Amino acid sequence: MNNLSLIVAKCDQTNAIGKDGTLPWDLPSDLKNFKRITEGGSVIMGRKTYESIPKKFRPLRNRTNIVLTSNQEWEEDGVFVYHDDSHLLSQILWSSPPAIVRDKENFVIGGERVYRDFIGECEHLYVTNVLGYIEGDAHFPLIDEDKFKKVFFCNSYEFDNSKDSHPYQLIVYKRRKSIDKFNTESFKRKLKIV
């Protein structure tokens, strides 16, 4: 097992994940879930995704930040940077010192190309389905339900969602051939779901 997972917020109807370099919704309760889920591990993202994070939150605290970019000159304090796409996964997983935290879950967090390149390597997919029709210029790939099965589901009303611009569903998928068990009760405690 490689401890690699993926976390995404996407429109349930269009699979949009972004528009003009920003999120096309405002979901404070989902951002809290993102923080609770990803803290302690690594977050793997493309440069544009990293730069879309407000400066006051970069790099994301209590997580190892890994940025993938073809720009050989790009660098940022507090961030591991990888440029070579050909052996990217093995470089991240087996570099010395390791960029990821091997005994923790590590998360692919976007954007479109990074999701597409890594979805096949992930054990778990944490998917926020934002309800409604929302257009975007970046999209999440379709989830192959022959490879992944749903192991958790809840609605946004189970969180303090009074400030959210849209309702959503949080769904966790697990790789069908994975030997890992998904601990629903532990996950609910992490998200503070009663």
**Per-residue pLDDT tens for 158-173?**
998 899 999 999 999 9
Which pLDDT belongs to residue 76?
94
Q: How far apart are CA 158 and CA 192, in angstroms?
A: 9
Q: Look at residue 12 and tell me whether its pLDDT is greater than 80.
A: yes
Contact 125, 119 (CB under 8 A): yes
Which pLDDT belongs to residue 194?
62
Q: Look at residue 44 and tell me whether its pLDDT is greater than 60.
A: yes
Q: How far apart are CA 118 and CA 124, in angstroms?
A: 11
Please enumerate, as own/partner, the contacts of 49-55 that have beta carbons within 8 Å and a separation of 24 or more: 49/109, 49/110, 49/111, 49/114, 50/76, 50/79, 51/21, 52/18, 52/21, 52/22, 52/23
**Per-residue pLDDT tens for 129-150?**
999 999 999 999 999 999 999 9
Radius of gyration of the chain (CA): 16
**Per-residue pLDDT tens for 15-24?**
999 999 999 9
- Structural domains in the chain (count): 1
Kindly report the CATH number assigned to the domain that includes residue 174.
Answer: 3.40.430.10
* Residue 56 structural domain: 4-190
Q: How is residue 1 written in tokens?
A: 């097992």
Could you tell me where the DSSP H helices lie in the chain? Answer: 28-38, 47-52, 88-94, 112-118, 184-190
- CA quadruple 1, 114, 43, 25: dihedral positive or negative? negative
Please enumerate, as own/partner, the contacts of 159-164 that have beta carbons within 8 Å and a separation of 24 or more: 159/29, 159/30, 159/32, 159/33, 159/191, 159/192, 159/193, 160/29, 161/27, 161/29, 163/26, 163/28, 163/29, 164/25, 164/26, 164/27, 164/28, 164/29, 164/30
More reliable by pLDDT, 96 or 42: 42
Residue 1's pLDDT band (cuts 50, 70, 90): very low
Q: How is residue 114 written in tokens?
A: 């990074």
pTM score above 0.75: yes
